[in-house]
Amino acid sequence: MNPFRRPVLSVCVALGVVFLVSLGVWQLYRLSWKLDLIAQTEARVSQSPVSLQTVPLSTTAEIDAARYRPVVLNGSFGAVPSVRVVGTLGGVSGYYVFSTFTLSDPEAEPNAILVNRGFVSMDEATPNGLYGEEGEPVELTGLVRTYETGGGLAGALAPPDDLTKGLFYQRRKASFETYFDQDLPPVYIDRLDHAGRADIPRGGTTRLDFNNRHFSYALTWFGLALTLIGVYIVMLRSNRKRQTD
């Protein structure tokens, strides 16, 4: 090996190792954050339901703290046909039914909120988007959820929401507000109980299985760093052997 190239190669290898190790450390940090998030979510879900009006939702921090909090709502579903959000449940294709829910207390804040009433298969979806509880007094329990932002790969690949047919592919607040023609709070509710007198929509479909592959990612980056070091050592030994021969 050219003696002038060896320092350059050594510097490049050192920088590569530092870069790969830093990525591994970052994944360990993400692992700690994800485990903490899972623990917080499990703790919130296990809490007793409280009235929605007692949950502060004014700031970003309050909204984050309210995620997956069980709440109780009293009111009625609106008569406007529900939005169908394309999805699956247990390998079955269908829709998640979203309707506006007006609280019975006229002074409640918020006075109306969006509710994910549950899942229906494509064959079970009603032509008019109504499911038998509209306008009737209803008490329901559910989990506080936040809307999707529409960003990332999923947002880029998702078809545009069809506001005319009420057929959505993502849970974006702006699309719901446009369809229902009203302002909505920064959160919506995933219904936990079943749909009252009807078997559909099926409530209690919230998925709490968080993707957590950070440890395997960390091992990958650390493994690549060790591989790079190993290749570098082999190259040095091979070069020394050629020089002695």
pTM of the prediction? 0.76
Q: What's the rounded mean pLDDT across residues 81-93? A: 88
- Indicate the average pLDDT of the chain: 85
pLDDT computed for residue 189 by the predictor: 93
Q: Over pLDDT 70: what percentage of the chain?
A: 91
Residue 160 domain boundaries: 69-191
Does 177 lie in the same domain as 112? yes
Does 131 lie in the same domain as 29? no
Is residue 208 a part of any domain in this protein?
no
Does 105 lie in the same domain as 217? no
pLDDT computed for residue 186 by the predictor: 93
pLDDT in tens, 209-226: 777 788 899 999 999 999
Q: What is the 3-class SS of the chain, one letter each residue?
A: CCCCHHHHHHHHHHHHHHHHHHHHHHHHHHHHHHHHHHHHHHHHHCCCCEEHHHCCCCCHHHHHHHCCCEEEEEEEECCCCCEEEEEEECCEEEEEEEEEEEECCCCCCCCEEEEEEEEEECCCCCCCCCCCCECCCEEEEEEEEECECCCHHHHHHCCCCECCCCEECCCEHHHHHHHHCCCCCCEEEEECCCCCCCCCCECCCCCCCCCCCHHHHHHHHHHHHHHHHHHHHHHHHHHHHHHHC
Does 78 lie in the same domain as 32? no
Which has more pLDDT, 241 or 165?
165
Does 89 lie in the same domain as 165? yes
Does 172 lie in the same domain as 96? yes
pLDDT winner (highest mean) among 123-132, 209-218, 222-231 = 222-231
Q: Number of structural domains, the chain? A: 2
pLDDT in tens, 93-107: 999 999 999 998 877
Is residue 118 a part of any domain in this protein?
yes
